[in-house]
Structure 1
Amino acid sequence: MTGSWCAVLLAGGRSSRMGTDKAMLPWGDGTLLTHMHDVLRATGADRVIVSGDRPAVDGVPDVLPDTGPMGALAQLAPRLEDGTWLIVPVDMPLLSQVLIDALLATRTTCACVEDHMLPMVLRINDGVRAVMSDIGSRSGRERSLRALQQSLRVEHLPAAPWQRALRNCNTPDDWATLQTLA
C-alpha cells in the first residue's frame, strides 16, 4: 500500500446553490458528513480533520468564513503535519477505495484527477504550507485550489476511469442524480 496518510474533509461551505447544508443531507445510516468521515477512516486515513463548524466530528471552524476551500485549507495548514494528506469534499459519497489508492500512489507534491480540483493529494511540508498560506491570503479567484495546484505543478490522473466516483452535488438536481447512482 502507500503508507501512512491523513485526510481533510471539507465541510464548512455555505451550500448556497443547494439551498440547504450539504453535509447534513441524509446518506445511508447517517449524513454525507458522517458517511464521508467513515469512508476516509475505512480506506486507511490515520487521522481525519474536518474543516467547518461540525462539533459532532470535532470540526475546525473557519476563522475567516466564506473564503472557499482554499481559504479553509490555508487556515488549516499550520495544523497539518508533514506527510501525505488527501483533501476531499463532503459531497462526494461515491468516492472509491480504488480512486483513493490511485491518488495516494502518485509521488508528486500535488495530484488530482483531470478536470476535477478534488479529491486532491498534497504532500505537506514547510514549503507547501508557505504556498498554501500565500494563496489562501489572496482575494477572489486568485485564492483557489486551481492556483494552489498550478503553483505546486499538479499531476493529473486521467478522468475516464473515475467518473462515477467523482460525482458530487452542488444543486438539488445534482443531489437527485447522485441518489439514483447510489
Structure 2
Amino acid sequence: MPTATERLPCIGVVLAGGQSTRMGRDKALLDWRGRPLLERQLDALRAAGVDEARVSGDRHGYRGIADAQPGLGPLGGLAAIAGTVAGDADLVVIPVDMPLLGAALLGRLRTEQPLARGLRCAGHVLPMRLRLDTESRGLLAALLREREPRRRSLRALQQALDCAEVALAADEAAQLADCNTEASWDEVSR
C-alpha cells in the first residue's frame, strides 16, 4: 500500500456497457451539446487529472473493454477493466449516464483520502474511487462468483472494502443526477 506521499497511476473508467433498457436507446450515444455523452464523460475524467481514461463496454469507436462474463452488470464491467490494468492503480469510476459530473468533484474523488481503499460520494454508489491491488482484485473475483445478484454489486464491493465517503455541497450533489429514462434525460438536458 502506498504512503500518503506516494501516488499510484490513476485510471478513469466510464461504465458504458449496459443495455439502456429503461432509456430505450443507447445512453452512451445520447447527444450532449453536440457530441456523444460518452465523449463528454471521458473529457470530464481527463479534466479531473486522471492519467488515462478507459471505457467499460463493447464500444468499438472508443476501444471499449467488453465484459469477460456478460450479464454481471457494473461489477462485471469493472472486473473486465481491472483485467487490463498491470500492477496497482487507483480507478475513478463513473457511469455514462451522469452528464452533470464536473471535473472538480471528480478531482476530489481522485485526490481526497489517498489511503482509502475505496471512496465514494456520501449516499451514492457512483462515482467512486477504487484502490486496485491484489486484495481488491481477489474481492472482485469472489463477488463475481456470488449467486445472489445483490451480493454481485458495486455496493457489495464498497461494503467489503469499508469504503470511505466524501461529503457533498448542494451544488456537488446536483451533479449526481443520473439519466435512466427519457423523462430524466429531458429534465437534465434542457
Q: Considering the TM-score relative to the shorter chain, is it more than 0.5?
A: yes
From 160, 174, 180, the equivalent of 2:184 is: 174
Give the secondary-structure state (helix, strand or coil) at the position aligned to 1:112. strand
2:46 is aligned with 1:41: yes
Give the secondary-structure state (helix, strand or coil) at the position aligned to 1:6. strand
Pairing of 1:53-92 with structure 2 (within 5 A): 53-81=58-86, 82-92=88-98
CA distance in structure 1 between the partners assigned to 2:67 and 2:83 by the alignment = 13
Residue 148 of structure 1: aligned partner: 157
2:35 is aligned with 1:30: yes
CA distance in structure 1 between the partners assigned to 2:175 and 2:74 by the alignment = 20
Give the secondary-structure state (helix, strand or coil) at the position aligned to 1:9. strand
Pairing of 1:101-120 with structure 2 (within 5 A): 101-104=107-110, 105-107=112-114, 108-120=116-128
Q: Structure 2: which 5+ runs fail to align?
A: 1-5
CA distance in structure 2 between the partners assigned to 1:159 and 1:115 by the alignment = 9
Assess if the C-alpha contact under 8 Å between 2:94 and 2:126 holds in 1. yes
Assess if the C-alpha contact under 8 Å between 1:6 and 1:85 holds in 2. yes
> Which shifted more, 57-66 or 155-164?
155-164
TM-score, normalised to structure 1, is 0.91
Cα displacement string for residues 54-73 of structure 1 (whole angstroms, at most 9, x for unaligned residues): 01110011232221101211
Q: CA RMSD in A?
A: 1.6
From 13, 16, 22, the equivalent of 2:18 is: 13
Residue 125 of structure 1: aligned partner: 133
CA distance in structure 2 between the partners assigned to 1:9 and 1:58 by the alignment = 12
Give the secondary-structure state (helix, strand or coil) at the position aligned to 1:62. coil
CA distance in structure 2 between the partners assigned to 1:75 and 1:54 by the alignment = 13
Equivalent position amino acid for 1:116 in 2: H
Work out the number of aligned pairs and report it: 179
Assess if the C-alpha contact under 8 Å between 2:13 and 2:55 holds in 1. yes
CA distance in structure 2 between the partners assigned to 1:37 and 1:98 by the alignment = 14
Assess if the C-alpha contact under 8 Å between 1:14 and 1:66 holds in 2. no
Shift in Å, 1:49: 1.6
TM-score, normalised to structure 2, is 0.88
